[in-house]
């Protein structure tokens, strides 16, 4: 790609010219005319450069992925009823035999 031709740098400043209040002096009017012409040429050159400039590249995002299909889900199974352990029966203790009655 060839590089664009360099454009000349022109500096135009109004403050170097005396403000004559348009007294009709030819020398001052010539300077004012040249400054106005230079400003017009600069504006035209900038507009031409802007028109010839390539369009800015706009980054585009990738399209969003398609949403996942909705799958019907069953309700979770109810929690099993907890099994409560019953206490073990008390051991059967044999009673001592009654003492014989002596008469």
- Mean pLDDT in the chain? 75
Q: Is the pLDDT of residue 71 over 60?
A: yes
The predicted structure's pLDDT at residue 91? 81
List pLDDT tens digits, range 31-67: 777 888 899 999 999 999 888 888 777 778 888 888 8
Q: How far apart are CA 103 and CA 90, in angstroms?
A: 37
Its pTM surpasses 0.75: no
User: What is the spatial distance between Cα 75 and Cα 79, in angstroms, rounded to a whole number?
Assistant: 12
């Amino acid at each position: 790609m060839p590089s664009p031709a360099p454009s000349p740098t022109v500096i135009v400043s109004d403050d170097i010219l005396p403000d004559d209040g348009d007294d009709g002096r030819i020398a001052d009017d010539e300077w004012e005319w040249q400054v106005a012409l230079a400003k017009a040429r600069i504006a035209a050159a900038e507009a031409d450069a802007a028109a010839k400039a390539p369009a800015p590249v706009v980054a585009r995002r990738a399209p969003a992925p398609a949403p996942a299909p909705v799958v019907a889900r069953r309700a979770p199974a109810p929690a099993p009823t907890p099994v409560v352990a019953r206490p073990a029966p008390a051991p059967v203790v044999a009673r001592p035999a009654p003492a014989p009655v002596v008469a």
